[in-house]
């Protein structure tokens, strides 16, 4: 089973059980952001977690095996059409150089890890319209000279 087939099986089971990603993650015991990313094939899960997810969703062991496989993290290089994903591209397009400059001032020459990383997505209620709160937390990795 490849990652695309795995994702399709998971999404179908999620829909049939009428569970949210938050509910599934709570039952499995990991972050909903990381769980969803793994279910979409962009990260892998340890055997124990993959098996637990499959038990929650009543999925066969072949899905667990696919969840444990290392991902091939590629994506299209074109601007996405989905409005939510496009807006994130827009944020990086407008603020990316600013983020890079401010990280450089605060930490020095380096990058934020996307491996030693966590992210949370929250909702902030606001009378002027609810707000999406995305918190990204990555280890700073300084560039090395040799």
Alpha-carbon distance 7 to 133, whole Å? Answer: 26
131 is catalytic: no
**What is the CATH architecture of 3-68?**
Orthogonal Bundle (1.10)
**83-142: CATH number:** 3.30.1160.10
64 is catalytic: no
113 is catalytic: yes
Query: 3-68 and 83-142: same fold?
Result: no
Q: Please tell me which residue in 113, 118, 120, 131 is annotated as part of the active site.
A: 113
Residue 92: per-residue pLDDT: 87
CB 67 within 8 A of CB 74: no
Q: Please tell me which residue in 5, 22, 47, 90 is annotated as part of the active site.
A: 90
pTM over 0.85: no
Question: What pLDDT digit, counting tens, does each position of 102-137 carry?
Answer: 899 899 999 999 999 999 999 999 999 999 999 999
Question: What is the CB-side half-sphere exposure of residue 15 using CA atoms within 13 A?
Answer: 6
Delimit the domains of the chain by residue range: 3-68, 83-142
Residue 45: per-residue pLDDT: 97
H or E element: which one contains 4?
A: helix 3-17
Q: Please tell me which residue in 22, 87, 118, 131 is annotated as part of the active site.
A: 87
Residues with Cβ < 8 Å from 131, sequence gap 6 or more?
123, 124, 125
Residue 15: per-residue pLDDT: 96
């Amino acid at each position: 089973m490849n990652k695309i087939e795995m994702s399709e099986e998971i999404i179908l089971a999620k829909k049939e059980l009428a569970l949210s990603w938050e509910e599934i993650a709570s039952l499995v015991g990991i972050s909903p952001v990381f769980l969803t990313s793994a279910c979409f094939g962009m990260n892998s899960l340890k055997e124990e977690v993959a098996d637990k997810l499959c038990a929650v969703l009543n999925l066969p062991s072949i899905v667990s095996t696919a969840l444990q496989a290392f991902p091939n993290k590629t994506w299209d290089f074109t601007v996405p059409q989905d409005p939510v994903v496009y807006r994130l591209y827009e944020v990086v397009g407008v603020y990316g150089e600013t983020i890079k400059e401010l990280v450089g001032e605060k930490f020095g020459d380096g990058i934020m890890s996307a491996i030693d990383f966590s992210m949370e997505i929250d909702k902030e209620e606001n009378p002027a319209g609810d707000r999406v709160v995305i918190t990204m937390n990555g280890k700073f990795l300084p560039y090395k000279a040799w």
